[in-house]
Structure 1
């Protein structure tokens, strides 16, 4: 377990999945990360790689061959090496191995880089291509933030504030977790989306065309807030297990498959790529104010 700390925040990251397990705000005494109650949802903030969401038949089609892959990929279940760790900086690394090649036939190093600076955490995904061919992949975040912030409040006191007031349209998912091609408008009040216990009854809200590059969790009762900024991520998911006291804010570079026939990996929606000998990087931030 790595712990990063300054005057405002103390965060913890475990080697399994290089997953954040705590975001503790010292001035307020508030723990902002969901504490993974296994009876509700047993994760804190899984990192999604090399796929985001579900793949048809739980398979990837690469160079004419199929490879078994679970929803959201294997990184969240893998043990990362801690290659650097200081008071405010840590790097976790997962290298390709016989275990990863069963699911994803590439040579790579996948890194999670955590930087703590004042009230802000910067999380960077870095993929180093150590193969002789282009690597195709998806990557994303799935942090769950505890709501309400204090015991004196209710979930319904809170809302998601988008950077801009804009029409929201969610892309619908089937019961199996694949896109159906349907979209539904999501009602808002200006740039506010109210949090309710039934907001996620039909699964995640998935936004593919947002102008907003950040969203904040805010309360009607006070000014304390948590903001996630995702300039490098074109897709955004919002989700909670219905009735649970948290909300996930999920920047994605990739997404689940759509219903129909499987496609080769390079034709998957929002697929990313990194050439031989090159390095891919994308970052997002979590800021407590």
Structure 2
């Protein structure tokens, strides 16, 4: 386990999946990350690569051949090597090998860089294409934040606030986690910026937004001024999800998304697919900022 720490934050990262396992705001000693209760949902903040969401028939089609691919890809199950570390900075790396090439036939290095700066944690995905062909991929984050922040509060005290007014519609997922082609509206409150959390908000699976105006969202309570803000400027898609009835909410910046349930397409035609040329490097970052008022 790797720990990064400054005056404001203390975060922990495990080698499996280079996954965040803890984000503690030190001035109030508050743990903000879901602690992966295996009876509910046994993850903290998985990193998604080389796909986001599910593939039709669990197959990824590359170069005319189908490869087995589990939902959200193999990175979250893989062991990363820590290649750099300071008190506030760490780099984890996953390199292609015979195991990854059996399901994803590219040579690559996938790095996840964690950097603390005051009350902000920045996460950078760095994909280096070590192949001689263009590499196609998706990448995304899946952090689960504890709700409520304090024991005396309720889940329904919380809401997600968008930084711009929105007319939200979610893209409906099937029971297999694939897009059906349908959408449905999602109602907001308070000048079309606030999405109240309820225990039944995710009864029909994740809310998936593909055309947001907002580039930041904040997890807030009606009862105090504490907040968690995600800046996902580099990520055009956003998922919001929780296991129905569970005490967390996932706020998920994505570069990529699940397949549709109608027909399989080659990887280069997948919706929101990313690419990086031979010998080139791709970078994308998002940040998590914790702000909490301290009562004296």
Per the alignment, residue 238 of structure 1 pairs with 240
Question: In the TM superposition, what are the counterparts of 1:222-233 in structure 2 within 5 Å?
Answer: 222-233=224-235
SS at match of 2:52: coil
1:207 to 203, 206, 209: 209
Q: Deviations over 1:197-224 (max 9, x none)?
A: 0000000000000000010000011001
Per the alignment, residue 284 of structure 2 pairs with 282
Query: Whole-Å Cα distance in 1 between the matches of residues 236 and 143 of structure 2?
Result: 17
How far residue 260 of structure 1 moved from its aligned partner, in angstroms, is: 1.1
How far residue 29 of structure 1 moved from its aligned partner, in angstroms, is: 1.3
Per the alignment, residue 265 of structure 2 pairs with 263
TM-score, normalised with respect to structure 1? 1.00
Question: In the TM superposition, what are the counterparts of 1:137-148 in structure 2 within 5 Å?
Answer: 137-148=137-148
Question: In the TM superposition, what are the counterparts of 1:143-182 in structure 2 within 5 Å?
Answer: 143-182=143-182
Question: In the TM superposition, what are the counterparts of 1:17-166 in structure 2 within 5 Å?
Answer: 17-166=17-166
Q: Please tell me the root mean square deviation across aligned C-alpha atoms, in Å.
A: 0.4
Query: Whole-Å Cα distance in 2 between the matches of residues 84 and 263 of structure 1?
Result: 38
Query: Whole-Å Cα distance in 2 between the matches of residues 271 and 225 of structure 1?
Result: 32
Q: Deviations over 1:268-288 (max 9, x none)?
A: 000000000100000000000
TM-score, normalised with respect to structure 2? 0.97
* Runs ≥4 residues deviating over 6 A: none
Query: Whole-Å Cα distance in 2 between the matches of residues 279 and 64 of structure 1?
Result: 25
How far residue 50 of structure 1 moved from its aligned partner, in angstroms, is: 0.1
How far residue 102 of structure 1 moved from its aligned partner, in angstroms, is: 1.1
Aligned: 1:221 with 2:215: no
SS at match of 1:76: helix
Q: Which structure 1 segments of 5+ residues have no match?
A: none
Q: Deviations over 1:70-113 (max 9, x none)?
A: 00000000000000011000000000001101110000000000
Query: Whole-Å Cα distance in 1 between the matches of residues 44 and 92 of structure 2?
Result: 17
